Amino acid sequence: MIRDVLILQKREFQNRINELYVDRKVNFKKLKAPLIKIIVGPRRAGKSFFALHFLSELNNFGYVNFDDERLVELKDYDSLIEAVNSVYKNPKNLLFDEIQNLGKWELFVNRLARQGFNLIITGSNSKLLSKELATHLTGRHFLINLFPFSFKEYLSLFEKDLTTNEIKNKFDKYLFEGGYPEPKIKKIDNKDYLVSLFDSIIYKDIVRRYNIRNPNKISDLAYFLMSNISNEYSFNSLKKLTSIESVHTVEKYLEYLEESFLLFSVKRFSYKVKEQFSSIKKIYCIDNGFVNSKSFKISPDYGRLYENLVAIKLKKLELDNEISFYYWKNQQQQEVDFVIKKGLKVNKLIQVCYNVNNLDTKKREIRALISASKELGCKNLLVITNDTEKEESFEWFGVKRNIEFIPLWKWLLEK
C-alpha cells in the first residue's frame, strides 16, 4: 500500500518538474552541506518545488509527501524506507515534504542521518519544527526560510530585460496580488486561489491539528487581523473586538496563525526586553495577496500595503539571522514604522510614506524619524515612498539630519 502511494506521488512530481521554475534567492551552500537541510515557510510558497529542482541535479533521490491522507496513520517507518528503496532504487538522497504531519518525525530523521542519508525536509509549521529541531537535531541541521516570491523573484517570471516603466507596472500588480507562485505560473485566478489556500490553512493546518471546536472564531480573528494590517493590537483589544471569550484563547489562536505563516507580529522597540514582550505589538501578513483576497476593504489602502511589503522583506531577513526589527513609538505618540538592529546596535530607521507630496504627512513622518534618531542614536534614516527618490536635510528642535527617500519598488530590488 505504501509503495503504491509513493508510485503515484512520483508521477505527480515528475509532471511538476517540467513546469516553469524561478530561481530562488537562497544560500545554496547550505543545501550542499553534509547536514540535514530543513526548508520552512508558508504552505504553497514553493518549498518542495525548489527542493525537487535541486535534487534533480543529483544522480538519484527519493521523495515522500506526508501531506497525504493515505500516510496519516503511518507507524511503520521501516516499511516506508523499504517502499522508498523499491520505488527509487535505494536512494541516498531523500526529500520528505511537510514533515510535521509525521509523528515523531525528528527521531526518524535523526536515525536516517546517522545511517548516511542526505536529507532535505520541508515544513509549514514554524513552532513544531523549531521545537523539535532544538531538542533533537541541534548542530546537525541547516534551516532555510522560503517565502512566496519576493519582487525580485517575481520579475524573474518575465524572461526579458524590463524598462523602468515596465518594472513599475509589474510592481503595481505585485503590490495587490502578492507573490504566491502557482497562480502566476499556471495562469489561474489569483484571488480564488488565495481564498481557497487561506481556508485550507485555517481548517487543515490549524483547526484539525489543534482540535478547535469552534472554527469560525479563529477564522473571524484571522479575517479581522487581515483587515487591520500594520495596526497595533493587544490580546485584550482583540478579545473585545471579536467574539472570542478569553484573552488566553485569543493569544493561543494568534500563536496558531503565526505558526502557520499566515501572520506575524512586530514588537515595539525598547532597550528593556521585558517591555518588548509586554507592550502592544503590530500585525502584518505574510503576503499582500491574502490581504486583498480575505480582508474587508472598500478601497485599496496603499499605505498599509506598502508597509506590509516592507515588513515581509524585513521578516525574511530576520529569520535568516541578518537583522532584528521593531517599531518605535514615544510618549508623544510619534511613531517610526521600523527600527533595524544588527547585533546590539540600531542600524537604520525606516518610515514608510506612500505620499510624501502631502506636506502635513511629510512633516509628521520626518519629525518622528528625527525624534527616534535622537533617542536611539541612529543617523541612518530612510523614507520609503511611492515615487520620490532623493536625499534631503531636515532640522527639528535643533537636531539636523540627512534623510534618504527611495521608491518601494527600487528598495525591494536591493539585497
The pLDDT assigned to 299 comes to 65
Q: Please, what is the average pLDDT of the chain? A: 90
Q: Report which of 312, 378, 308, 318 is spatially closest to residue 348, judged by C-alpha positions.
A: 378
Q: Reading across the β-sheet that carries 381-385, which strands appear in turn?
A: 324-329, 335-342, 345-352, 381-385, 399-407, 390-396
The pLDDT assigned to 276 comes to 64
The CATH T-level fold of domain 189-299 is: Arc Repressor Mutant, subunit A (1.10.10)
Q: What is the CA radius of gyration of the chain?
A: 23
Higher pLDDT pick, 327 / 33? 327
pLDDT one-digit tens code per residue, 271-319: 876 666 667 899 999 999 999 988 766 667 899 999 999 999 999 999 9
The pLDDT assigned to 60 comes to 84
Residue 135 has pLDDT above 70, yes or no: no
Contact by Cβ (8 Å): 149, 22? yes
pTM, to two decimals: 0.94
pLDDT one-digit tens code per residue, 16-55: 877 888 888 876 666 777 788 889 999 999 999 898 888 8
Average pLDDT over residues 159-169: 91
Residue 63 CA to residue 70 CA, distance in Å, equals: 15
CB atoms within 10 A of CB 88: 17
Q: Please give the share of the chain, as a percent, with pLDDT higher than 90.
A: 66
Q: Report which of 287, 229, 265 is spatially closest to residue 43, judged by C-alpha positions.
A: 287
Residue 346 has pLDDT above 70, yes or no: yes
* Phi, psi (deg, nearest 5) at residue 7: -65, -45
Residue 391 CA to residue 301 CA, distance in Å, equals: 26
Average pLDDT over residues 237-251: 91
SS3 287: coil
Contact by Cβ (8 Å): 178, 168? no
Q: At 229, is the pLDDT very low, low, confident or very high (cuts 50, 70, 90)?
A: very high
Residue 126 CA to residue 47 CA, distance in Å, equals: 14
Domain regions of the chain by residue span: 2-145, 189-299, 324-412
SS3 13: helix
Sign of CA dihedral 315, 319, 323, 326: positive
pLDDT one-digit tens code per residue, 89-133: 999 999 999 988 888 888 898 899 889 999 999 988 876 666 666
Cell 532555510, residue located: 144
Strand 335-342 and strand 345-352: pairing? antiparallel
The pLDDT assigned to 415 comes to 76
Higher pLDDT pick, 273 / 220? 220
Element (H, E) at 252: helix 247-259
Residue 214 CA to residue 302 CA, distance in Å, equals: 34
Residue 241 CA to residue 223 CA, distance in Å, equals: 12
The pLDDT assigned to 136 comes to 65
CB atoms within 10 A of CB 206: 21
67's grid cell? 501531506
The CATH T-level fold of domain 2-145 is: Rossmann fold (3.40.50)
